[in-house]
Structure 1
């Protein structure tokens, strides 16, 4: 089969995404495999822009929404599948070709739930929420570390960020509580880190508020 006929016959392309190489599994209208190849990032773009419109299926993983929007702009229909729905179809001899085939097989199952392709704005919101979530964890860790360090010196601050923010300045200024200058400096650094994290979280909260209006 020459390349022209091969491309014309492809009705579904399953793509196993990676950073630099991409495994393709092409199937015709009868469900027969007619193409299997691995392409680099640039060659994938060239191949897909020349390929007649077809159904493209991929796992909903890192980069999938970018590729999905790009392939849609080439005229293809694109469907994304959550990785947990692909895993049951992966053969025991796991490799890129087997993964691409598993993506195709999962896409053909009746009732399969597909993931909607996110817009740039939706990805922006997702990124903000992910970073904000990490900052909240870092803030909680800083609060707990401050409380733990002070407790080792017999100073107990009740649980909660508000208690730490309210009581810590007085503790650091109290010259009679037995804390060394070195220790005060360490805790002061944590206090500044906590303030910086708070500012970043507030900035992201403002951005989220502006987006959802």
Structure 2
């Protein structure tokens, strides 16, 4: 699928709805629109995101949700009722062509099954380990993945309760890789084991 165009969606902050919560609501609307339409040529990126570190463990989604796709696919998506209801809460710029000079980025879901502390507690209880033994089995490095930004979402296909959708942004060398995208706007691995790239700028 050609990601020739993009549009930036930016939530308008409200007194009772801060940017992180507004970004979550926006992403939920996007998920509904993509799930119900069956569109698989729309990708997302978070151009203003930040990842946490051990010293500063707080990650951020940023304040912009960027949609990538063919111009017609983006136009059709934004005409859906899910997006019309957001007119007063989200700033939409115009659909624009992607700049000539871009990098290639793979944005994908990273599954974090459990926090380190929870794993340690379980090991102590089930396997009768000491606290030191549990720390040895589950060192602090296991927690690194949770430093990624995430959306709290509910799956429409599985009716799963709210879960954290952690997102990894990784720059890659070489030619862009085309492909299809899920109802979350994330690339699906192809037969060669590659994830599609999105233009990063």
Normalised to the residue count of structure 2, the TM-score between the two structures is: 0.26
Higher-helix-fraction structure:
1
Higher-strand-fraction structure:
2
Give the greater-gyration-radius structure (CA). 1
Tell which has more relative contact order, 1 or 2 (C-alpha 8 A, sep 6+).
Answer: 2
